[in-house]
A and B are shown apart, each in its own frame.
Chain A
């Protein structure tokens, strides 16, 4: 067996243990520190845990830089990702300990809420990372995207040739299939994995509904045309599914990264407010 090498298992779940360790220690400190004014974010425990949480948050942000340093020595990227995931998740529980479960309609809680959005989007990301790739492989079936697109271009060419010499109705279908077929587009259409307005599907329908009588070679051409368009439709389905999967793999990042910056901003405001107004 090649050995545990996924980012979750990295070094035998080292960062899971580290995170749980930090959480556990924090819990102990939290429980044993019961100052006279009651527990709060402004007690020494509160400040301490807050500093730890803030430090972790800034360190988590650093992943964006580390990810782009391709010559880095030291731990491989998956180690960083492993730590990122576990420490990040742990923060959900650490921050309430820091704030002694005090929440309200204020910038402080806003920071926490934003942070939670970041964390949950991250957890969602991990879930997608676990589920989507294998479906993507199965869908692709050992062909590259470039090859699929090239094949579609080839089919388009062959369709044109097959429609040549047939009544206009057929040429019209081919034109519809070529001009009105779209791949990708808005976020919604990418994620849906299908296109209800797909020109190729329309073309296929119209071909099958054709009431024109043909015979001999023209009939052959019509059959060939139908086969080509049907193949194209299958390929398009395959490509759109691929686009959908890729979209799912990237989707969570659309939330995760902007909200992370927002969290940082809110955090800085929170810290400033706490000390300025104290």
Chain B
């Protein structure tokens, strides 16, 4: 790895608009020091003034020894310090040219020097050494020690004298006798979290634009890079595999097969996590298309817990794996070929040797224990094997994560008296379905709830908890289950010398494409490096052993990837390298992450003139361009009253290295543009779910995409804004998250600016005569809060609440105000929005609550509404019967439930509970297996083969149209049989029938799918079974606009 000494004395140029500085390879000025954040700071021109903007969320920036928390103006000659070791000096030279251009004419330069050379030229500081080298002169040479180590809770442990540990980013090393200025910024205050330089779509049709951060100038190597040493002598290898999960077992089996001396260490028992599963639980084998390494002699496919344990124990026994259980690893020292591992087993502590190490320890870490008097009693446990083994007991479950909630509910349903204890009063770590379930059980009184309480001691008859105010509560019980989470293994790894890319506690350590960490000889596989799925773990364990032996093993996904690249030509490795070299957005990925992404994506080679997608299409994949150019055509959105065919078109070009289709990452939105290739193109098409996973795990990717979103949203809303203005706006923008039901802003408050809804829906309420009434619902892609910007000084005129979990981008008032004055377009837009608001409010008053009614019943979002005319409905329920009979015995329609609108003229229009196939389906927000799909015609349907029954969609749907049920697709005896022999012709109870594989059939999500699988009716009438089976014609499916018209017509 390059270090700063290489860069001493180097001069960097500062660009005309923005220049990024950081460790990331995409930065304009790359500072290759471990203590620097990937995007650390930015030099930004505003008019003729140069600002230094602090970007890092973790490390500090100082100018002339004063910390910069937001931005600071620079005039030249300042010394900018980044983190603790890197100092750059700024020089601004003005050119002599006689130009009256408003843009800065200066050609600024930056002089890079090293810390220590500022005043005391002696004792240059040691470069950030590779962790296995003993740190050289870290002792402070002269001058007072550096500013006190910040009390950051997220900082890694300060390595004092540990021999193998790397110098921590805030080590007391650099002497720099600069007087310690103010404390470094407190850990909790983030700098204005804004996206970095947003991309700029050009306004001219031809020139390709800069997108994302600067183009990489050097070829990016996968890092860390494994050495090219010759393969070791197999007889000299002594392999230590730590962790006997699927990855470790696979490694152990392979090592035994290869005749390599090895030991598989496990702190409890083989496959401990699966052993702890509830009895009979189904273990899934995702992803289905991934093959297992064919030479691995370890069986695995989707099966119940007991079967999987049998397979794996057999595999280890048959191969002759040297398994050592009940042994904890305390520390690892040494180097490749001569590692020393200290262990503690049943016999006590000892130190063992190893030449190579494979770490497959997962991310569960050490289970947290209570640590209070009495916690060693037999009624205090940390797991629940079988909830059905407990009946009529009083049980206390401590912890409101997924594990705690699931245990509490299972026990309560089995007839136990359960109390669940929360250390705080928020339940925010659990899956939405679990959260909803426990809240409902608490509300109904089935489960007692104790908040803000931690265990104080355990007595024989119960547990004593202490609440925040010091009071004690005793809960009598027979059993206490602690689900307190785990300490992640990061501290162990860092003590070993493994480096992490950032302070983020979710950060994953980098590995080379051979799974080798930054310490040669130590390999890391499985969940530890971001691959929690069992099949991945097994393959990686196998492959790591092969790499230790120096064998060239093809990763298991190689044939799948090779097939994808077939049309492109070249080897898989060549293609992956090309992708990393070409697409800056993907370059932060490790090789393993990139392979995973490609595994889930499609490679498309398209000739010129191919339409990739059209405006208003429902698909939502993300496209990265490897080669070629595409053209995006968008309609001007500034005046929504103009019909589509009369609007102006905006054209943009995107080229190799850029991306498009990012709007699809926001659930369910239709495409806003038509994209056509203008040359032969090679594209990577990535499904929405994979991209979402990626943005969650790789911060840099998220930033780029966020920035692209803000930029393109601004470009769509205000096309007359130029790139620089958009950048400035985007820079000041702040992305905010709002939970469903949370207030985004409240009526009567001081306004905080204009909000652009990136994801979700905001419901607008206004108080009338004391009562709050909803007047409108604003979808993603649109804005809220315009009035306050249009009329500065006024307070908020309405309340905006998140209808579902929402993300908004907030542009502060002062920033927008500048543009309101200067841009007629923006002013017009805001005035238009004001009109809409006034009309909506008026309608509310006049329409006798039609809007409210539609809002509650969901009609406003629907693309397809099921409506029953209750003057015709004879309540025969044939519609429900028809739905059930054509859908596996479960009706997706509840005729009786739902709201009815009675017009004054005596009509009654009822909206039964049934899926409305919303414009922006909330149910699609978080479907892990991507089982929710949208047809080109707009129908939203659930693929019940891929559905895993997690219930997220049910929790997200605000209209209660999804339910979890066991579907039985056996049609049963025929019609004639049923008519003639009604008693005999019944089906077996579906609930009693076990599914294949022995596991209990699970409940899956079901909802209306517009009968898309039924054959079309010959007469051209509705396909939906409910509509076709209504004897009087009361039930119809209509366009929601028709519904409103119908009401107004029938008002008379």
Q: 1/0 per residue B555-568: CB within 8 Å of A?
A: 00000000000000
Interfacial chain B residues near A71, Cβ < 8 Å: 885-886, 1014, 1025
Report A's interface with B, CB cutoff 8 A: 1-2, 5-7, 10, 64-65, 67-79, 81, 129, 132-134, 136-138, 140, 142, 144-146, 246, 249
| Contact partner, B1028, options A72, A134, A249, Cβ 8 Å | A72
**Residue contact A81 to B1032, C-beta cutoff 8 Å:** yes
**Residue contact B1032 to A134, C-beta cutoff 8 Å:** no
A6 to B873, CA, bound (A): 10
Question: A67, A81, A133, A138: which has the most chain B beta carbons within 10 Å?
Answer: A133
What 15 new A-B contacts, CB under 8 Å, besides A64-B979, A70-B882, A129-B874? A2-B1038, A69-B975, A71-B1014, A74-B1017, A76-B1022, A77-B1029, A81-B1031, A81-B1032, A133-B875, A137-B870, A137-B871, A144-B896, A144-B897, A146-B896, A246-B875
Interfacial chain B residues near A73, Cβ < 8 Å: 1015-1018
Interfacial chain B residues near A246, Cβ < 8 Å: 875
A142 to B899, CA, bound (A): 6
Q: How many residues of B contact A (CB 8 A)?
A: 46
In B497-529, which residues have CB < 8 Å from any A CB?
Answer: none
| Contact partner, B896, options A5, A77, A134, A145, Cβ 8 Å | A145
**Residue contact B1021 to A137, C-beta cutoff 8 Å:** no
Using CB atoms, name the residue of chain B closest to A144: B896
**Residue contact A6 to B1033, C-beta cutoff 8 Å:** yes
Using CB atoms, name the residue of chain A closest to B978: A68
Instruction: Give B59 Cβ to nearest chain A Cβ, in Å.
Output: 59
A144 to B885, CA, bound (A): 24
| Contact partner, A68, options B975, B1015, B1021, B1042, Cβ 8 Å | B975
Interfacial chain A residues near B770, Cβ < 8 Å: none
Instruction: Give B406 Cβ to nearest chain A Cβ, in Å.
Output: 29
**Residue contact A7 to B871, C-beta cutoff 8 Å:** no
In B1011-1052, which residues have CB < 8 Å from any A CB?
Answer: 1014-1019, 1021-1022, 1025, 1027-1034, 1036, 1038, 1042, 1045-1046, 1049
Question: A10, A137, A145: which has the most chain B beta carbons within 10 Å?
Answer: A137
Query: B290 in the interface, Cβ–Cβ < 8 Å?
Result: no
Using CB atoms, name the residue of chain B closest to A130: B871
Known: A7-B1032, A76-B1019. A2 touches B975 (CB 8 A): no
A77 to B1025, CA, bound (A): 10
**Residue contact B1033 to A10, C-beta cutoff 8 Å:** yes
Interfacial chain B residues near A137, Cβ < 8 Å: 870-871, 900, 902, 908, 910
**Residue contact B878 to A77, C-beta cutoff 8 Å:** yes
Using CB atoms, name the residue of chain A closest to B1032: A7
| Contact partner, A76, options B871, B896, B1015, B1021, Cβ 8 Å | B1021
| Contact partner, A6, options B902, B1022, B1032, B1046, Cβ 8 Å | B1032
Query: B570 in the interface, Cβ–Cβ < 8 Å?
Result: no
Instruction: Give B136 Cβ to nearest chain A Cβ, in Å.
Output: 77
Interfacial chain B residues near A6, Cβ < 8 Å: 872, 1032-1034
Query: B906 in the interface, Cβ–Cβ < 8 Å?
Result: yes
Known: A68-B979, A75-B1021, A78-B1032. A133 touches B1046 (CB 8 A): no
| Contact partner, B1042, options A2, A70, A75, A76, Cβ 8 Å | A2
Query: B457 in the interface, Cβ–Cβ < 8 Å?
Result: no
**Residue contact B871 to A78, C-beta cutoff 8 Å:** no
**Residue contact B1032 to A75, C-beta cutoff 8 Å:** no
Using CB atoms, name the residue of chain A closest to B885: A70
Using CB atoms, name the residue of chain A closest to B1016: A73
Query: B881 in the interface, Cβ–Cβ < 8 Å?
Result: yes
| Contact partner, B975, options A65, A74, A132, A145, Cβ 8 Å | A65
| Contact partner, B1036, options A2, A74, A133, Cβ 8 Å | A2
Interfacial chain A residues near B1034, Cβ < 8 Å: 6
A145 to B907, CA, bound (A): 21
Question: B1015, B1019, B1036: which has the most chain A beta carbons within 10 Å?
Answer: B1019
Nearest 4 pairs between A and B by C-beta? A78-B1033, A70-B882, A70-B885, A76-B1028
In B463-481, which residues have CB < 8 Å from any A CB?
Answer: none
**Residue contact B1049 to A129, C-beta cutoff 8 Å:** no
A-B contact pairs, 20 of them (CB 8 A): A2-B1036, A2-B1038, A6-B1034, A65-B979, A68-B978, A68-B979, A70-B885, A70-B1029, A73-B1015, A73-B1017, A74-B1018, A76-B1019, A76-B1022, A76-B1027, A78-B1033, A133-B908, A134-B871, A134-B908, A137-B902, A145-B896
Interfacial chain A residues near B978, Cβ < 8 Å: 68
A140 to B870, CA, bound (A): 11
**Residue contact B878 to A133, C-beta cutoff 8 Å:** no
A87 to B1046, CA, bound (A): 31
A7 to B1017, CA, bound (A): 18
Interfacial chain B residues near A140, Cβ < 8 Å: 900
**Residue contact A1 to B1049, C-beta cutoff 8 Å:** yes
**Residue contact A75 to B1019, C-beta cutoff 8 Å:** yes
Interfacial chain B residues near A75, Cβ < 8 Å: 1019, 1021
Interfacial chain A residues near B1036, Cβ < 8 Å: 2, 5
A71 to B1049, CA, bound (A): 34
A72 to B1028, CA, bound (A): 9
Instruction: Give A41 Cβ to nearest chain B Cβ, in Å.
Output: 33
Instruction: Give B886 Cβ to nearest chain A Cβ, in Å.
Output: 5
Instruction: Give A72 Cβ to nearest chain B Cβ, in Å.
Output: 7
**Residue contact B1027 to A129, C-beta cutoff 8 Å:** no
**Residue contact B870 to A133, C-beta cutoff 8 Å:** yes
Known: A70-B1025, A133-B874. A5 touches B975 (CB 8 A): no
Question: B875, B1021, B1031: which has the most chain A beta carbons within 10 Å?
Answer: B1031
Interfacial chain A residues near B1027, Cβ < 8 Å: 76
**Residue contact A133 to B896, C-beta cutoff 8 Å:** no
Using CB atoms, name the residue of chain A closest to B1045: A1
Question: B875, B878, B975, B1032: which has the most chain A beta carbons within 10 Å?
Answer: B1032
**Residue contact B873 to A133, C-beta cutoff 8 Å:** yes
Q: 1/0 per residue B906-937: CB within 8 Å of A?
A: 11101000000000000000000000000000
Instruction: Give A248 Cβ to nearest chain B Cβ, in Å.
Output: 10
Interfacial chain A residues near B975, Cβ < 8 Å: 65, 68-69
Instruction: Give B893 Cβ to nearest chain A Cβ, in Å.
Output: 13
Instruction: Give B600 Cβ to nearest chain A Cβ, in Å.
Output: 37
Using CB atoms, name the residue of chain B closest to A128: B874
A78 to B1014, CA, bound (A): 19
Q: 1/0 per residue B583-600: CB within 8 Å of A?
A: 000000000000000000
Instruction: Give A131 Cβ to nearest chain B Cβ, in Å.
Output: 9
Interfacial chain B residues near A64, Cβ < 8 Å: 979
Interfacial chain A residues near B906, Cβ < 8 Å: 134
A81 to B875, CA, bound (A): 16
A119 to B473, CA, bound (A): 75
Instruction: Give B792 Cβ to nearest chain A Cβ, in Å.
Output: 44
Instruction: Give A100 Cβ to nearest chain B Cβ, in Å.
Output: 35
**Residue contact A76 to B870, C-beta cutoff 8 Å:** no
Question: B875, B906, B1014: which has the most chain A beta carbons within 10 Å?
Answer: B875
Instruction: Give B472 Cβ to nearest chain A Cβ, in Å.
Output: 32
**Residue contact A78 to B1031, C-beta cutoff 8 Å:** yes
Using CB atoms, name the residue of chain B closest to A11: B1019
